[in-house]
Amino acid sequence: ASNRKEIIFDQIDCAIRCASAEIEEVGQGLTLQHVVATEVARWEHNPEATLANMKEAIPKDGTFDMESTANGHGGYFFEECMRARDKSKDYREFVYHFHEWYWHDEYYLEQPVKEETLSKDELLLIAQCEEEGKKLTLNQIAWRRRKKEDLRYEFDEKYPENDIDCFLLTGGQFFDKEIVR
């Protein structure tokens, strides 16, 4: 038993550690085989310094995964996403992945909306999905309507439909979101 937030497997000389992003020195003096950094966009202080320490502790055959919900335009996570999605660069440190909310099967309601009640933006979203080879159901649109009502300004960040709006249209803003979009 330990209060160090770790599980040690002596038989295979391995440990699993859970550390706080608040500590910039996390990872120093260790060899880290697999790092998962979660909700990086919300890390306080200096996430770049914290992650630099961890990244330098990962050997060549190790892995580093960084994920987050967007948290506005700017900051370390935003910058790394923009660098990773820039295909014109010869070298990119990260492989960029983006997942729309409708990528997840569990986001639907049992009661679908009626097709004749679809708004312009819902019809546009359905058409965009069809262009990408995805089928958006009326049950998913029902879920989207409910979530948009529940979350209001936060929907675009929490359940993004594209990888630009999730950064530009987060939180309550001074400028009208539809104009920004």
Most confident of 13-27, 78-92, 138-152: 138-152
3-state secondary structure 104-130: CCCCCCCCCCCHHHCCHHHHHHHHHHH
What is the C-alpha to C-alpha distance for residues 30 and 11, in angstroms, rounded to an integer?
A: 19
Q: 37 - beta bridge partners?
A: 66
CA-closest candidate to residue 80, choices 58, 97, 62: 97
Most confident of 10-14, 23-27, 95-99, 141-145: 141-145
Tens-digit pLDDT profile for residues 25-47: 887 888 999 999 999 999 988 89
pLDDT at 153: 79
* pLDDT at residue 101 greater than cutoff 70: yes
What is the dihedral angle through the alpha carbons of 117, 178, 86, 103, rounded to the nearest 10 degrees?
A: -30
Distances (CA, A) of 51 to 1, 48, 65, 124: 28, 5, 11, 39
Most confident of 7-16, 56-65, 149-158: 56-65
* pLDDT at residue 172 greater than cutoff 60: no
Mean local confidence (pLDDT), 83-92:
89
Tens-digit pLDDT profile for residues 110-158: 999 999 999 999 999 999 999 999 999 999 999 999 999 999 878 888 8
What is the C-alpha to C-alpha distance for residues 57 and 73, in angstroms, rounded to an integer?
A: 29
What is the C-alpha to C-alpha distance for residues 96 and 114, in angstroms, rounded to an integer?
A: 36
pLDDT at 13: 85
pLDDT at 105: 87
Phi, psi dihedral angles at 157 (to 5 degrees): -85, -45
First to last CA, the chain: 52
* pLDDT at residue 1 greater than cutoff 60: no
* pLDDT at residue 174 greater than cutoff 60: no
